[in-house]
Structure 1
Amino acid sequence: MSALSAEPSTQPKLAIVVPCYNEEAVLEITAGVLLEKLNALIAKGIITEQSHVLFVDDGSRDNTWRLIEQLHEQEPNTFHGVKLAHNKGHQNALFAGLMTAREAKVDCAVSMDADLQDDPNAIDKMLEEYKQGAQIVYGVRDNRETDTAFKRGTAHAFYKLMSAMGTETIPDHADFRLMSLCALDALSQYREVNLFLRGIVPSLGFKTAKVFYKRGTRAAGESKYPLKKMISFALDGITSFSKKPLSIITGMGMASVIIGIVMFIYTLVSVFSGHSVAGWGSIMCSIWILGGMLLTSLGVVGTYIGKIYEEVKDRPRYILEKKI
């Protein structure tokens, strides 16, 4: 029976995919927690003994890969790993891990961050939803108590903006999710270089479910998503899934033309009525406003052209250097 028509396995082979970038401070802690979780699920007969953790080293500059090798030596059946030849970013590393899990013919894969902010205990509920027929199960935060007011506000604004732009996303969901082999097969057909999995996965369709969990604090180390990367990630999400910014530019241009015509008519009326007043202030404001609109428009159009440039080169998203 093909993956597209296969029924959910009552005892699935599970892969937990964990992208890592300079995570030597937290990796052993994470490995210990995930080993305990897998052993508990296997002991209960929920998953098969072939289930494993797949660490993806995204070109780390520290000892992350060495630790992954050591973990594999200690538990060769539980800890697997792939190393990317160069740092390609979280989304590409995650995609590499999911495709590696797909090649291993797992029944389902759970993706989560290496810092244990995603609650491993939520995997139990994800598997329950999977066995009830869900092909994709989203891990959704039930609160943002651990976030600063700034991060909480910008996160909510991001999801609202994505919705306004016509992109389907799951509010308060990052990349903590379960995907069946069927869903992984569908995901493998997406060939774009500019990956935004939080938008791609909801577009796959299939039966979905949500599992709510309390997001914890980072177990160790520092966040790999500073404000600059968060802004870049948000812009990638918008420009990868929506053409509305281009429509907005068109609207702004038309509005500027209308305003210009109105001002021209007003100027003619003022001249013929003898009430024209030399006003350099209004001229300067007009120049700055129009100049700013033009530069902004060029920037947005340039972003889309840049993405086209990256796509048409058709370079590989990543190159695997090692696999254990």
Structure 2
Amino acid sequence: MQAKANKKISIVIPVYNEASNIQALFIELTSVLSGLPYAYEFIFVDDGSRDQSLSIIKQLAEANSHVYYIELSRNFGHQYALKAGLDLSNGDCAISMDCDLQHPPEVIKSLVAKWEEGFDVVYTRRMEDKNLPWLKRKTSSMFYTILNRLSDLQLENGTADFRLMNRNVLNAFSHLNESEFFIRGLIKWAGFRQVAIDYSPRERFSGDSKYNLKKMISFALRGITSFSVKPLQMIASLGMILFLISLILVPYALISFLIGRVVSGWTSLMISVIFFGSLQLLMMGIIGLYISKLVIQSKQRPLYFIRETNYSSPNINERERIAR
């Protein structure tokens, strides 16, 4: 077994318009990592930032040998930026975290302690923040409840993308090339020896959250449709129920017509048309979500492109670097 001094921890940090947070995060991370008996590196993945984020990271890299940057060719999204950093990382383990300091750097010591005990994945659960708006806390809780009921996964409420992954997990993770990534679900699905630790989130150091309502809904749909076909099964069950109901209503309508007891009712007719029409559109929409995922996956497009990097990794060669 390697001595601790010969092991390395990679810190992977997706960055999108976080210029005001990078320096503060770097200072805190350096303070924490320098107190651990391991070599370490910081991999900042710039996900098409439009501010000065990349130039600040490059300045840090010039002044500090522990800092590396990966510049993606455009904004691919948080999950893909995170995958790019994890794919390239050289460490014996990698810790992924956000750039806004809501993931407290001091928690890294607890992550590493569990890693030293032999766990392959040490993930975090965000404790409820009473300062968050009631609606945001409620929708977050609902997301995990719905996901767990509609899929075979069981994600704890508050599970975050703040986690440690051992090298064997990173190697397995690098082979996953799904068109729509939901990393916290994939890590749970992959298995290995996993353990959770709780943490209290900080206030965002600076700037605004990049997850608006639209992105949150899209993220939730991605998680549900990536790990469950139960919505399709529900559609089939509902269709069967409606078919059985029709077997009763159609003879009733025919008998009413034959004995001359047909009562015309515009209101009931319109309600029926609107209800069943809306139901059919909803069903078609759910089916369309799954079909669109199949179409995109069938194209086998690269998940990301790297425009520039100062990182040297045996996990990716020059041809892959251009292609991805």
State the TM-score, normalized to the length of structure 1: 0.91
C-alpha deviation, 1:129, in angstroms: 0.5
Which of 251, 274, 277 pairs up with 1:288?
A: 274
Which of 55, 67, 72 pairs up with 1:79?
A: 67
Which of 140, 164, 175 pairs up with 2:125?
A: 140
Which of 47, 57, 73 pairs up with 2:46?
A: 57
Which of 186, 202, 219 pairs up with 1:200?
A: 186
Which of 298, 301, 315 pairs up with 2:287?
A: 301
> 1:9, 1:107 within 8 Å by CA — same for their partners in 2?
no
C-alpha deviation, 1:160, in angstroms: 0.7
Distance across 2 between alignment mates of 1:164 and 1:211: 23
C-alpha deviation, 1:273, in angstroms: 5.5
1:26 equivalent in structure 2: 21
Does residue 14 (structure 1) correspond to residue 3 (structure 2)? The answer is: no
State the TM-score, normalized to the length of structure 2: 0.91
Distance across 2 between alignment mates of 1:262 and 1:26: 64
Per the alignment, do residues 8 and 295 of structure 1 end up closer, same or farther by CA in structure 2, a change over 3 Å counting?
Answer: farther
Q: How many residues align?
A: 308
Which of 127, 147, 169 pairs up with 1:162?
A: 147
5 Å matches for 1:32-181?
32-41=27-36, 45=37, 47-48=38-39, 51-76=40-65, 78-101=66-89, 104=90, 106-168=91-153, 169-181=155-167
- Percent identical across equivalent pairs? 38
C-alpha deviation, 1:302, in angstroms: 1.1
2:254 equivalent in structure 1: 268
Per the alignment, do residues 62 and 79 of structure 1 end up closer, same or farther by CA in structure 2, a change over 3 Å counting?
Answer: same
C-alpha deviation, 1:142, in angstroms: 2.3
Q: For 2:68, give the aligned amino acid.
A: H
Q: For 2:83, give the aligned amino acid.
A: F
Distance across 2 between alignment mates of 1:108 and 1:170: 23
Does residue 247 (structure 1) correspond to residue 223 (structure 2)? The answer is: no
1:211 equivalent in structure 2: 197
RMSD: 1.6
C-alpha deviation, 1:261, in angstroms: 2.3
1:279 equivalent in structure 2: 265
SS in 2 for 1:158: helix
Distance across 1 between alignment mates of 2:262 and 2:117: 76
1:3 equivalent in structure 2: none
C-alpha deviation, 1:199, in angstroms: 0.8
Distance across 1 between alignment mates of 2:56 and 2:97: 18
Per the alignment, do residues 157 and 57 of structure 1 end up closer, same or farther by CA in structure 2, a change over 3 Å counting?
Answer: same
SS in 1 for 2:179: coil
Q: For 1:323, give the aligned amino acid.
A: T
- Higher mean C-alpha displacement, 281-290 vs 312-321: 281-290
Distance across 2 between alignment mates of 1:166 and 1:219: 35
Does residue 236 (structure 1) correspond to residue 222 (structure 2)? The answer is: yes
